[in-house]
Structure 1
Amino acid sequence: METSTLLVIAYYVYLFIAIVYVVTRNKETPSTFAWIFLIAVFPVLGFVLYVLIGRKSLRTSKKQKINEKHFVGSMKRILSGLFKQQKKAIELIEKRKDLEYKDKLFQLLYRNSESILTLRNRVKILRNGREKFPMLFKDIKNAKRFIHMQYFIWRSDELTEKFKELLIKKAKQGVEIRILYDWFGSMLISRKSLREMRRSGIKIYPYKGPGDYTFFHTLNYRDHSKIAIIDGKIGYNGGMNMGREYLDGSKKFPYWRDTHLRIKGSSAKVLQTIFGYAWKAATRESLFKREYYPRMEIKSFVPIQITSSRVETGWSSIEQLYFQLINTAEKKVYIQSPYFVPNESIYTSLITAALSGLDVRLLITGIPDKKIPYWAAFTYFEELLNAGVKIYHYKKGFMHSKTINIDTEICSIGTANMDVRSLKLNHEINTLIYDRKISKQLERDLLKDIEDSKEFTLNDYRKINPLKKFRNSVARLLAPLL
């Protein structure tokens, strides 16, 4: 038998074994086909990548489940007062007549991510970096006891240099400072800046970096968090990382549109537990101590649930949240996301909502930073438009907000994009706010953004040439891998 024939036979045998291995992992169909496509085109590289980032290690998963169990126990102990008040809190807000609260949402987040409902909070929506960073700078400057920060991206530029100098100053004053950054997202962070901060007493570490025992098995599961906690009383969560582009768009974009939250109240304690979990995983130091959870009196009544979506919980909590929010809607569904690569259930829910007569609007970026998810989004538009969904491309700059607003009554603001990576892979943190006033403000912001956007219509879709449609379809096939 000729060598070429043997190679062909070997290739098909290898391909059959690889496909059986991938199929029996029982991942979602789009993800399974995407990996099969990659392995077929790049036989060796594709399978190596799948082993490294496309599957979960059983050994790691067991260890992570143990860590998750310890975390839940520590959280319930340190927030025992809030946990004991859950039933009373739900009964209290269900009696209010100014807002239709959804009991199913409470129960969903409590059961899939141990998310507790807090009532006493003061919330401010921050629309861009010019609003966020001066306020965060001021809060850090006024910190008395500790500063905890956890970001997917920590750049080394003019903005972070100013924060670095302030953080070093606070550390010298005796304030405890702990910073986590995602190893992959912050790969280009200055080693000099790290040394300077560490010499001043700042504890700063990568989350799941090369030194972590789970590194190779969790390479595809990134920490997409963007949170800060000051003295256990003030918390930040939303779409903005630490970098100049979030302030002014930098050189790449004329403007950067984003949404972040500043929260003062009980929910800051919840953010502290989320940080505490990640910090313990990265450094083995426990922060589940009373000194990091101070008492405070806040009169403002803004009910909030903060949910953290982690692989370790076994549930895709934010994916389930988005699905339930859309299905709960009775009048409106307004969504902002830089990327739109939904799973089948959320896609069907949006179509069903629009066909049911609801006002469904989707606002995504019109000036992309990543081409493949931008192209993939177009493959979903035809059916959405036929159902009655209104789609807008933001043209003033880069749209990076991650929000969903239901009936101008309940809204979610956080780190999770409307795409497969955020819904299935990343560690994400979203804040669900049960407040009509906040939801109304978020709606006004979206309507103002629409003024800076171009509506994408069925006529626009029909003008896309066949080659670009094919490109978009290939991008959609690859999207689950990104």
Structure 2
Amino acid sequence: MDHKEPGKAKKGLSRIIFSRTGFILLLILIQLGIFVITTNLLQNYAMFIHGTMTVLSVIVVIYIINSEDNPAFKMTWMLCIVGLPAVGTLFYIYVKTQGGVRWMGKRLATLRIETDSYMLQDMDVVDALRASKPANANLAYYLSHHLGFPVYRNTEITYFPLGEDKFRAMIPELEKARKYIFMEYFIVEKGYMWDSILKVLTRKAREGVEVRFMYDGTCAISMLPYDYPSELESRGIRCKMMNPIKPFLSTVQNNRDHRKICVIDGKVGFTGGINLGDEYINRKERFGHWKDTAVMLKGDAVQSLTMMFLQLWNIDEKRPERYQRYLTPRKDGLRRELGYVLPYGDSPFDNENVGEEVYFHILNHAKKYVHIMTPYLILDSEMISALTRTAKSGIEVIIIMPHIPDKWYAFALAKTYYRELIRAGVQIYEYTPGFVHAKVFVSDDDTATVGTINLDYRSLYLHFECGVFIYNNSVIDKIERDFQQTLAKCHKISLLDVRKRTMLTKLAGQVLRLFAPLM
């Protein structure tokens, strides 16, 4: 294990506290404190204010019950309102009336319209898919016609069972870039992996290759300086920090960019769970051995990754994007052995739970097995029903979880689902060498998805995410083989193991489950 010295840990904490990020977090906490204190004072100021708040609370609860939100989110909000009527009610109203959220939703809708003509579905592909597996054709219709994510053929896929495998393949592909490189990642941390990539990006930018790099704003909390985009700009790399942390309360800051996308010349695309940090390639040990996965696409389907990147990049751009410059050159002929490839994205602003729908689809149409790798297990009632119903139907459902977690509270919460799932026939294994960060579903030797989407509320409902749905491609054999090889290193969780949990772990998990939608 990688144990930090106490002095270094204190220095790191002091650096965060006395940095610009620490100042921003302090301002947010002050605003939250003022909000709570003010609402409590108003609540106790006079009877008529208390009565008004009571009436308002009832109205808000009625509104919540009749809203289209996920039932788990409804329950959490109502619990907050019942427990703290004034604070909970006013905070809910504040959250639902924020202009920033509405603006971002409208802006993304506009950008989707701009890119629609570059994301048209070839109906011959859908017809061929329908002849092979009608259920998958229905999924393709939903994703293409309602969300703008076409299904493609003529796309080669390489599967990487570890982060170091992806890293070794990624560097040579970046070196081949002649026109452009687009990169979008959730975590970027200085170290061997990022320094190696940055050297290539800097050199390519000097050679005249257009390089755009985008990362999530949470990196500025402890991993990168707040002005890091300026440093990359000085190297010739166009850079953006997506949704930077700002000193005011806003639910927009809850919608993180959790995607991992790399596109090179429109010919090669990468996605999966692997961020740009040394633990992801097992060069730095944090939670034992780090098990992660990714895929590389070569061919027609890369265009969807390109457009996903450009949509988010252009949220705050005033100049129109020249999308035609970045189109993927289509391959001639038809390679039937490559099957069907469908890259998809998920946004918290389109009222569609795309990642969850893909997972539901695989569970609901499996005939023999569904094998899953996920780092987190924080489930709503619909996902619990889908998993248990599939297992009760005689279909083998196996979930591989970490044995060494990165977040103790998320692990304690995950364990509260074990008993219900195991009793229904779902098999749960923990990866004893360390931490599983992979997000993989594979089913029936013909269907799989690899991407960034965890089995938790944040990935399924709150974050920007992406993945690749694969059908009838030989890479599925490699994904299933990797699952079995990983399974051989796991410990199967029994009901006896569940009962052996400490009282503290049980209590913590049960309390945390009340706030699961916020985790």
TM-score norm. by structure 1 comes to 0.89
Kept after mapping to 2: 8 A contact 1:209/1:215 = no
User: Quick one: which of 286, 289, 293 aligns to 1:259?
Assistant: 293
The structure-2 alpha-carbon separation of the partners of 1:324 and 1:57, relative to structure 1 and needing over 3 Å to count, comes to farther
Kept after mapping to 1: 8 A contact 2:301/2:343 = yes
Tell whether 2:209 aligns with 1:175: yes
User: Quick one: which of 243, 246, 269 aligns to 1:208?
Assistant: 243
Counterpart residue number, 1:383 = 420
Counterpart residue number, 2:513 = 476
Counterpart residue number, 1:30 = 72
Kept after mapping to 2: 8 A contact 1:183/1:208 = yes
Q: CA deviation at 1:285?
A: 4.5
Counterpart residue number, 2:433 = 396
CA distance in 2: counterparts of 1:432 and 1:93, whole angstroms: 13
Code of the residue aligned with 2:376 in structure 1: it is Y
Tell whether 2:107 aligns with 1:67: yes
The aligned runs of 1:160-239 (5 Å cut-off) are: 160-187=194-221, 188-190=223-225, 194-210=229-245, 216-239=250-273
CA distance in 2: counterparts of 1:51 and 1:241, whole angstroms: 36
**Per-residue CA shift, 1:133-163, capped at 9, x if unaligned?**
1211111111101110111111122321222
Code of the residue aligned with 1:113 in structure 2: it is L
Residue segments in structure 1 that go unaligned for 5+ positions in a row: none
The aligned runs of 1:49-448 (5 Å cut-off) are: 55-57=95-97, 59-60=99-100, 62-80=102-120, 83=121, 85=122, 87-95=123-131, 102-187=136-221, 188-190=223-225, 194-210=229-245, 216-248=250-282, 250-297=284-331, 300=335, 301-448=338-485
Residue segments in structure 2 that go unaligned for 5+ positions in a row: 1-40
Q: CA deviation at 1:435?
A: 2.1
Kept after mapping to 1: 8 A contact 2:205/2:235 = yes
**Per-residue CA shift, 1:208-235, capped at 9, x if unaligned?**
22579x9824111111000010111110
Kept after mapping to 1: 8 A contact 2:186/2:215 = yes
SS in structure 1 of the partner of residue 152 of structure 2: strand
Kept after mapping to 2: 8 A contact 1:395/1:454 = yes
CA distance in 2: counterparts of 1:72 and 1:320, whole angstroms: 20
Code of the residue aligned with 2:463 in structure 1: it is N
Q: CA deviation at 1:30?
A: 2.5
**Per-residue CA shift, 1:6-48, capped at 9, x if unaligned?**
5797889757755753663433332233345456777888678
The structure-2 alpha-carbon separation of the partners of 1:475 and 1:442, relative to structure 1 and needing over 3 Å to count, comes to same
Count of residue pairs the alignment pairs up: 470
CA distance in 2: counterparts of 1:327 and 1:248, whole angstroms: 35
**Per-residue CA shift, 1:352-383, capped at 9, x if unaligned?**
11111111111111110012221111121112
The structure-2 alpha-carbon separation of the partners of 1:294 and 1:308, relative to structure 1 and needing over 3 Å to count, comes to closer
TM-score norm. by structure 2 comes to 0.83
Counterpart residue number, 2:27 = none
Counterpart residue number, 2:60 = 21
Kept after mapping to 2: 8 A contact 1:276/1:286 = no
Structure 1 runs (4+) deviating above 6 angstroms are 7-13, 39-49
CA distance in 2: counterparts of 1:245 and 1:47, whole angstroms: 42
SS in structure 1 of the partner of residue 469 of structure 2: strand
The structure-2 alpha-carbon separation of the partners of 1:234 and 1:186, relative to structure 1 and needing over 3 Å to count, comes to farther
Q: CA deviation at 1:200?
A: 2.0
Q: Does 182-191 or 419-428 show the bigger shift?
A: 182-191
Code of the residue aligned with 1:89 in structure 2: it is V
Q: CA deviation at 1:91?
A: 1.9
Kept after mapping to 1: 8 A contact 2:126/2:141 = no
CA distance in 2: counterparts of 1:372 and 1:19, whole angstroms: 32
Aligned-residue identity in percent? 25
